[in-house]
Amino acid sequence: MIDIKFLRENPEVVKENIRKKFQDKKLPLVDEVIALDQEYRANKTEADNLRASRNKISKQVGALMAQGKKEEAEDAKRQVAEQAQKLAECEAKEEELGAKIKQIMMVIPNIIDPSVPVGKDDSENVEVQKYGEPVVPDFEIPYHTDIMERFNGIDLDSARRVAGNGFYYLMGDIARLHSAVIAYARDFMIDRGFTYVVPPFMIRSDVVTGVMSFAEMDAMMYKIEGEDLYLIGTSEHSMIGKFIDQIVPEEQLPITLTSYSPCFRKEKGAHGIEERGVYRIHQFEKQEMIVVCKPEESMAWFDKLWQNTVDLFRSLDIPVRTLECCSGDLADLKVKSVDVEAWSPRQKKYFEVGSCSNLGDAQARRLGIRVKGKESKYLAHTLNNTVVAPPRMLIAFLENNLNADGSVTIPEKLRPYMGGTEKLIPKK
Burial track 145-173 (b if 16+ CB lie within 10 A, e otherwise): bebbbbbebbbbeebeeeeeebbbebbeb
Report the Cα 250 to chain-centroid distance in Å.
Answer: 23
Q: Looking at the structure, do residues 263 and 215 belong to the same domain, yes or no?
A: yes
Q: Report yes or no: 322 and 307 within 8 Å, Cβ to Cβ.
A: no
**Does residue 92 share a domain with residue 153?**
no
Among the three residues 105, 133, 157, which one is the final residue of a domain in this structure? 105
Pairing mode, strands 370-372 and 195-197: unpaired
Q: What is the DSSP string of 3-47?
A: -HHHHHH-HHHHHHHHHHTT-GGGHHHHHHHHHHHHHHHHHHHHH
Does residue 116 sit within a domain? no
Residues 164 and 287 occupy one common structural domain: yes
Is 111 contained in some domain? no
Residues 283 and 171 in one domain: yes
Q: Is residue 203 part of a domain?
A: yes
Residues 180 and 58 both lie in one domain: no
- End-to-end alpha-carbon separation of the chain, Å? 54
60 and 183 assigned to the same domain: no
Residue 114 lies in a domain: no
Share of the chain above pLDDT 70, in %: 93
CA atoms within 13 A on the CB side of 420: 0
Residue 251 has what pLDDT? 97
Report whether 189 contacts 346 (CB < 8 A).
Answer: no
Q: What is the CATH number of the domain that holds 91?
A: 1.10.287.40
Tell me whether residue 137 is in a domain: yes
Handedness of CA 392, 395, 400, 402 (dihedral sign): positive
68 with 144, same domain: the answer is: no
Is residue 358 one of the residues assigned to a domain?
yes
pLDDT truncated to tens, each residue of the chain (428 aa)? 899 999 999 999 999 999 999 999 999 999 999 999 999 999 999 888 887 776 676 666 666 666 666 667 667 677 767 778 888 888 899 999 999 999 999 999 999 999 999 999 999 999 999 999 999 999 999 999 999 999 999 999 999 999 998 899 999 999 999 999 999 999 999 999 999 999 999 999 999 999 998 788 888 899 999 999 999 999 999 999 999 999 999 999 999 999 999 999 998 655 554 456 888 899 999 999 999 999 999 999 999 999 999 999 999 999 999 999 999 999 999 999 999 999 999 999 999 999 999 999 999 999 999 999 999 999 999 999 999 999 889 999 999 999 999 999 999 999 999 999 999 999 98
- The answer to whether position 110 is within a domain reads no
Task: Verify that 59 and 192 share a domain, yes or no.
Answer: no
* CA atoms of 84 and 89, how far apart (whole Å): 9
pLDDT of residue 276: 63
Pick from 72, 105, 138: which residue ends a domain?
105
| Single-letter code of the amino acid located at 311 | D
Clarify whether residues 129 and 95 are in a common domain: no
Helices (H), 316-361: none
* Same domain for 139 and 87: no
User: Domain for residue 115, yes or no?
Assistant: no
What is the model's pLDDT at position 62? Answer: 60
Per the CB < 8 A criterion, the answer to whether 113 and 381 are in contact is: no
Residues 270 and 194 in one domain: yes
In CATH, what number is assigned to the domain containing residue 306?
A: 3.30.930.10
User: Residues with Cβ < 8 Å from 17, sequence gap 6 or more?
Assistant: 109, 111, 112
Domain shared by 403 and 374, yes or no? yes
pLDDT of residue 84: 80
List the beta bridge partners of residue 223: 230
The dihedral sign for the CA sequence 326, 332, 337, 341:
negative
Expressed as residue numbers, the domain containing 52 is 4-105
Specify the number of domains making up the chain: 2
Domain's final residue, options 105, 135, 154: 105
Q: What is the dihedral of CA 313, 319, 325, 329, to 10 degrees?
A: -90
Rounded Cα–Cα distance for residues 235 and 241 (Å): 10
